[in-house]
Amino acid sequence: MSRRALLTLLTSAGIGLTSGVVVSMSRSAGFPHEAHAGLFPTCLGCHAGIPEGDEDRYFSVEPRDCIRCHDGERGETVDWTAPTRTASNLKFVHVRHMEAVDTAGDEDLGCAECHGPTQPDQPRMAIARAAPEICVSCHAHEVPEHLAGEAVCATCHATLAEVPELSVTRVAEFPQPPTHAAESFIVSHGEMAEAQLESCAVCHARESCTRCHLNAEGLDVIRSLAPDQRIAELVAGRAGAWPEPESHGEQGWEFSHAERVVGGSQSCASCHAEPSCRTCHGEANIPQITALPDSSRVGLAGVTVPRTRAPGHIPDFASQHGAAAAANLPNCTSCHVERECAACHEAVPTRSAQGNAPVSFEPPRSGYHPASFVLRHGAEAFAVQSSCADCHSTEAFCRSCHQNVGVAVGVADGAGGAFHDAQPDWLFEHGRAARQGLEACTSCHQQTSCLRCHSAKSGLRISPHGPDFDPDRAADASLQSCAICHTARQILP
Amino acid sequence: MTRIPLWDRKTTLAAGSLSFALATAMPLAAQGYRAEVTVGASYLEVRPLVRDSLPGDEVEGTSLRRRLPDGTVVTCVQGDFCRWFRAGEVEPVHVTTQEARVTGWSGIQGLSARVHVRGRYGTDDFWPQSSEKFEAVSAYLDYDRSLFRARLGRLVRRDGLGYYNFDGAAFLWRKWDPLWLEAYGGWSLARGLNFPRSSDLLSRADPLAPDDRGFILGAEAGARIGSIASGRVSYQREIRTDRLALYTERLSLDVRAFLGPAVVEASGEYDFSFEQFNELRARVNMPVVSRLEATAEARHHTPFFELWTIWGAFSPVGFNEGRLSLAWSEPSLGLQLRAGGARRSYEETSAGPADSGLRDDGWRTFANADWRGGPWFASAGYLGERGFGAARFGGDLRLGRFFAENTYLSLRGTATQTFGEFRLNEQVVSGVGIDGAIGLGEISLNAGGAVYWNEAEERPADGDWTQVRIYGSLSYSFGTDTGGQR
């Protein structure tokens, strides 16, 4: 069996690596092994306890052994003490590792395999701590380096929960794998966490996740991480980070995102609370939105969607949305409810048209028309900027008011209304204006006003029909209308 | 004055639906109701124009158009009186409306009832329709399943032909998503009235109003291509119930698409009776550079009249209009600026003297700025509109502050110069006002008021024209919300 296969076996079996040993030696002074190369033919002379698993004899020499040479005469005196044990999250235990290697029947792993020279030209006693790269070269499928993305941390390291002795300072010094610095990591780390949560737990606790994840309570992978006061201290006061995923920058995302969350908004809930959606969707009762976390309860605001004009809403949309509403693009009911339409379209003088969807730069408004519109609406009515008749009955609303305020007064008795008081010869000039702005004319004049002259039955019998008028077509549509001005003899064949 | 009966068939329909909605609101799963009651009141001061006169020999001059000592322009007929219009006494107008909207969910999946009724009380109809006692805007049963939706009762529709209601049924079929089909029919109502064409409301306003209400039949088809494009075509026919004549027969087509960064719209309304397009519109909106977008629009408009009137036979002409606007917005600043203009030209009328001096074109220019920063908001706008019948040039200013999400207070000012091409009414109307809202959970209060005054160039007698406008409304929502009011 090859060494690689052996160690892979060891890893999978967890032999020798799951003891939970969480101590290591301090690196304080260090022993100058190379200087003593001629004195110590074997490692076990000083480290006799290691193959036996006797921790008390990991260092089987004492300072008095040094004095045999460093007595001040043969050699200068030295002040050496064996390293003390400090807390560590390393799971390595020499004796178990050796036993596992023996059991596997692989070649003998001597001390130098991990601690000896790493280069051919180095002296025999070029001793060093076992570099993590040596461990991962076998245990983590020969990844190129200790902190590589493919490395399985939990193979060699205990989780934070298993090492309560580690100080906050030590935890804070944990190196950050380069993979974590990648821009895409924050989006993709979820899958990694689900695949090897124990590895994440080497450095992270639940507080690492709840700093950003609004839906932490609902995610099994986060719930399975233990809370840890040390991590809580380290993340305290640090704002959540919610970088924009690539998908959100796709063209049309503002419309297509609804299709992405049809299956559930759990992935959105990592970053978004209900208010994120309400900025655009107003009060609309959408299950995917109401299923999002309550930001006040979880204590995280999540992504704040900036106030802007709603997607697909072109400028001046309030008065120009007819085609959009008819085509229903974007889907109106995603953000609006019926009563919002009614607030403007049903002409009642007192109501609020302040929309439920506050996505607008525009200030709140009361009603469709701006204040004082009734005092100055003439020009807009002539220009037919919007269809007045969609909401107002020309006869019962416009005409009634115009008569009451005196603009159309006197029309019925032929005295002329105030609206034409600047044109005494209006009667002879009105034809062109009437054809250009007949909608405006009807807001004051009854049909009978015109029939005094424009009837084939009586009066001046002046034809109002234009050159393109098709009497047959008109008769087909409504013979009754023809009969208002014409006798049966005139219109029937 | 003839009054609409307090209780009639419509009332029965509305009350029945309301009762159904409430009666079925048992505390079972998925059962419930949601209601909103709004009481609103307005007070307006209006100064009607009244005709005044003096004997011609008491007014200096001999021409047709003379001036009184205070500058008022009067029209004099030789040997007769000089006449003019001046502001009359203040006519106080108050209008009170009560609105109730109820949506009741039956507990049967997809079945709900929706009612929107309105009561009015006002000052003798000086403000139009203020004294109508009761009207049902909508009252219908709704059965909505994934493949279809059926509605029965007084329905409100919104499509390319406008926003209207009728009494009848509608059936929407959407099995072949993304295609949907809908058919509807019933008894039509007059647009903007909530009453049939044969109602007293219309006959009081026009002696030639129909004596028969109408049937309405319609169908529409729509399709959507993902979130990229969507369109709808609607056909509608309204006919007298005695089937002696049509009221309307129209078709509309509306298409909207997102083509890259551009929003493209096209819509049209076609009148079969006169074989003409009443509305044709094409619009493109797209970004020009960062934060700056442009909208270009081409439009043709020809007036539409129902066939119970004679107006369509007067051969009204339409106009063609081009419009261009730019908008710049910076969300981080909460600022949006818009500016643009439009020009329209009318088609040949073949009527009246060629030298009448009547404009056959018109133009518009506008500029707006809207800002929201923290709790503060402000807006300023200018509009100039010059047409053949009237013109106005003026602007508005507004500054306000939010105190809570739905609670704000704002101050506003306005000044507009208006011209009537046919009238002696060059004047500047100015005003200041205040408005605000308070939102307290299910209760919301909106209120405001303004005072306006004017300076009339040709009618100094209108100087004392000051008018006050006050409005307020109180809304209360209650009940459960098991599915929203869509």
Asked if residue B182 is part of any domain, the answer here is yes
- Model pLDDT for residues B184-205, shown as the tens digit of each residue: 999 999 998 889 999 988 998 8
Task: Enter the tokens of residue B176.
Answer: 């072949």
**Inside any domain, residue B160:** yes
Please choose, from the candidates A114, A415, A295, the residue with its C-alpha nearest in 3D space to the C-alpha of residue B77: A415
* Chain A CA closest to residue B421: A422
Which of A256, A366, A372 to probe the B interface (max B CBs under 10 A)? A372
Q: What is the pLDDT of residues B126-179, one digit of tens each?
A: 888 777 778 899 999 999 998 999 999 999 998 999 889 999 999 999 988 889
**Within a domain: B356:** no
Q: In whole angstroms, give the CA distance from residue A208 to residue A372.
A: 57
Residue B373 domain-assigned? no
Q: Between B227, B254, B371, which is nearest A255 by CB?
A: B227
- Per residue in B76-119, pLDDT (tens digit) is 887 888 888 888 888 888 888 899 999 998 888 889 999 999 99
Q: Is the pLDDT of residue B6 over 90?
A: no
Radius of gyration of chain B (CA): 26
Residues of B in contact with A283 (CB under 8 A): 484
- Taking each helix axis from N to C end, the angle separating A94-104 and A3-13, rounded to the nearest 10 degrees, works out to 120
Residues near B122 by beta carbon (within 8 Å), at least 6 away in sequence: B93, B94, B95, B96, B130, B131
Q: What's the angle, vertex CA B188, arms to CA B182 and CA B194, rounded to 5?
A: 110
Confidence at residue B484, expressed as pLDDT on a 0 to 100 scale: 41
Q: In this complex, which of A251, A333, A395 lies closest to B486 when CB atoms are compared?
A: A333
**Distance between terminal CA atoms of chain B?**
39
CB environment B7-38: b (16+ within 10 A), e (fewer): eeebbebbbebbebbeebbeeeeebbbbbbeb
CB contact under 8 A, B414 and A371: yes
Mutate to test the interface with A, among B66, B326, B422, B454 (most CBs of A within 10 A): B422
Percent of chain B with pLDDT over 70: 91
What's the rounded Cα separation, in Å, for the pair A347 and A34? 97
> How many domains would you assign to chain B?
1
Q: Tokens standing for A148?
A: 């590589």
Judge if pTM exceeds 0.90: no
Contact list in B for residue A443 (CB cut-off 8 A) is none
| Domain extent at residue B233 | 145-288+297-305
Per-residue pLDDT in tens (0 to 9) along chain A, 493 residues: 444 443 333 333 333 333 333 445 544 457 888 888 888 888 888 888 888 888 888 888 888 888 888 888 888 888 888 887 788 888 888 888 888 777 776 666 788 888 888 888 888 888 888 888 788 777 766 677 888 877 888 888 999 999 999 999 999 999 988 888 887 888 788 888 888 888 899 999 999 999 999 988 888 899 999 999 999 999 998 888 888 888 887 766 777 787 777 556 677 888 898 888 877 776 667 778 888 888 888 888 888 877 667 778 888 887 788 888 888 887 887 777 777 777 777 655 444 444 433 445 667 776 778 877 888 888 889 898 888 888 889 998 898 888 888 888 554 444 556 677 767 677 777 888 899 999 999 998 889 889 889 999 888 889 999 988 998 888 888 888 899 999 888 777 6
Does B266 map to a domain? Answer: yes
Helix (H, G, I), strand (E, B) or coil at B287: strand
How confident is the model at residue B211, as a pLDDT? 92
Question: Which two tokens mark A69?
Answer: 């040479």
Chosen from B188, B310, B466, B474 to mutate, greatest number of chain A CBs within 10 A? B310
Q: How confident is the model at residue B18 (pLDDT cuts 50, 70, 90)?
A: low
With 0-12 / 13-18 / 19 or more C-beta atoms within 10 angstroms meaning exposed / middle / buried, residue A2 is exposed
